[in-house]
Structure formats: C-alpha cells, structure tokens
Amino acid sequence: MPSSHDRISALERRIVRRYLVHRPVIIRAVDRSSPELKGYSTDGSAFGLSLRLDGEVAPGSQIEITLLLGTEELTCNGIAIRTEASKDGSSAIAVMIDKWK
C-alpha cells in the first residue's frame, strides 16, 4: 500500500503546478544539530521545493528552509525526500513541505 508521502507525490505530479523560483535559501536542521547550509531554490509548489545547496543533507532529514525574497523572508519546515550529492560537495534535494510559518 502506498504511503501518504507517495500519494501526495503522485497527486502533486498530476495537478499541482510547479513554479520556477530561483531564490537564495538558508537551510537548518530543525533540531539545530548541524551547521546551516546556503543555496538556492530551482522550483517549487505549495507542497514542495527543489533546492541546490552548498553541502549535503541526508534523505529523511527534517529541515527548516528560509527563502530570501528581497527584504522579506518566507520560512517553512519540511523533510528531505530525495538528495543527489555532487563531487564538489554540493547537492540537489527535493523537499516535501510540512508547514509554512
């Protein structure tokens, strides 16, 4: 039986529009157990974001994401559901958003 995450991902792929959003981001572990990472968003929807970061995040990590929008900030909590590390130490991650703040 598919998990709720699988059902949301399938639903998102079908009906939720994704937007190209290239904005700076700051990522922190929710429990503050690791240093913050910086990077940028590549696209997003109400349910998730795709990010490029200057470090690595383990799949399943609970993270806080701050999108920098000029003089404004938008913050949410989410779970890293897919990660892809690069040889240079950077990574691409897909985040399922749990809660917008």
pLDDT in tens, 28-69: 999 888 899 999 999 998 889 999 999 999 999 999 999 999
Q: What is the pLDDT of residue 13?
A: 55
Work out the average pLDDT over 71-100.
94
Cα–Cα dist 5/25, whole Å: 24
Task: Name the superfamily (CATH) of residues 18-100.
Answer: predicted glycosyltransferase like domains (2.40.10.220)
| Least confident range of 16-25, 34-43, 47-56, 80-89 | 16-25
Q: Is there a contact between 52 and 92 (Cβ–Cβ < 8 Å)? A: yes
Coil, helix or strand for 17?
A: coil
From residue 6, alpha-carbon distances to 10, 16, 53, 85, 96 in Å are: 6, 15, 24, 23, 11
Work out the average pLDDT over 91-99.
94
Percent of residues, the chain, with pLDDT higher than 90: 67
Q: Where are the domains of the chain?
A: 18-100
Q: Is there a contact between 67 and 50 (Cβ–Cβ < 8 Å)? A: no
Q: What is the pLDDT of residue 41?
A: 96
